[in-house]
Chain A
Amino acid sequence: NAGVTQTPKFQVLKTGQSMTLQCAQDMNHEYMSWYRQDPGMGLRLIHYSVGAGITDQGEVPNGYNVSRSTTEDFPLRLLSAAPSQTSVYFCASSTGTSGSEQYFGPGTRLTVT
């Protein structure tokens, strides 16, 4: 199993541009989440999904959209990039029988100029 994969690893955007961060998992996990991590900080939840077709907002959802059309994929879309969205983005997945065990991807480092 590849686990949780994310693409791209690095991305530079100009203010106002849009883009989609890809996340996929091959573990058949129901639950998937997106977090952002700013330098020296813990992770903050952006959006999450409890299954295909079901998504909900986390702590910092503004400026981001998500969709979950399949169990495997959970893309994160930046609508109009802003410098405040410069961060490292992590995708995670977990099973329905998990307590608080999530599997994290390697992250996407995004810089908005």
Chain B
Amino acid sequence: LAKTTQPISMDSYEGQEVNITCSHNNIATNDYITWYQQFPSQGPRFIIQGYKTKVTNEVASLFIPADRKSSTLSLPRVSLSDTAVYYCLVAPWGTGRRALTFGSGTRLQVQP
């Protein structure tokens, strides 16, 4: 499985755009990039998933450059409720149905 590296923590203020970058230098051709969000005392929640270029949904955008060695999760206009831990995962399509490998994630703290 491709190893991922992301910042341990980030701080932001309400209303700002937050970009969290994840490095995955040894990503394989059949790997997909997935991001999860976890609030304290809750299970992780799927945010977004992509293979290349850009993916956008109602919650976030995911930017993946052509070489796919990194990815950036973009959260537009964060609020206090976006304070959480964000995990970047890389796995072949299908593997993630049964077994996800979580790292330590990025702890995002949003200040008023």
User: A residues bordering B, Cβ < 8 Å?
Assistant: 4, 30-31, 33, 35, 40-45, 48-50, 58-59, 90, 92, 94-96, 98-107
Contact = CB atoms under 8 A, between A and B. Distances in A.
Given A35-B102, A50-B98, 10 more contacts: A43-B102, A96-B97, A98-B96, A99-B34, A100-B32, A100-B49, A100-B93, A101-B34, A101-B96, A104-B45
Contacts of A30: 97
A99 B49 contact: yes
Contacts of B32: 99-100
A101 B46 contact: yes
Contacts of B95: 100
B102 A42 contact: yes
26 contacts: A4-B43, A31-B98, A33-B99, A40-B104, A42-B87, A43-B44, A45-B99, A45-B101, A50-B98, A90-B44, A94-B98, A95-B97, A99-B32, A99-B34, A99-B94, A99-B97, A100-B34, A100-B89, A100-B91, A100-B93, A100-B96, A100-B97, A101-B34, A102-B44, A104-B43, A104-B45
B43 A106 contact: yes
B98 A99 contact: no
Interface range, B side: 20 to 34
B103 interface: yes
Contacts of A101: 34, 46, 49, 96
Contact of B96 (A96, A102, A104): A102
Interface centre among B41, B43, B89, B93 (most CB of A within 10 A): B43
Contacts of B104: 40-42
B97 A42 contact: no
B100 interface: yes
Contacts of B41: 107
A101 B91 CA distance: 11
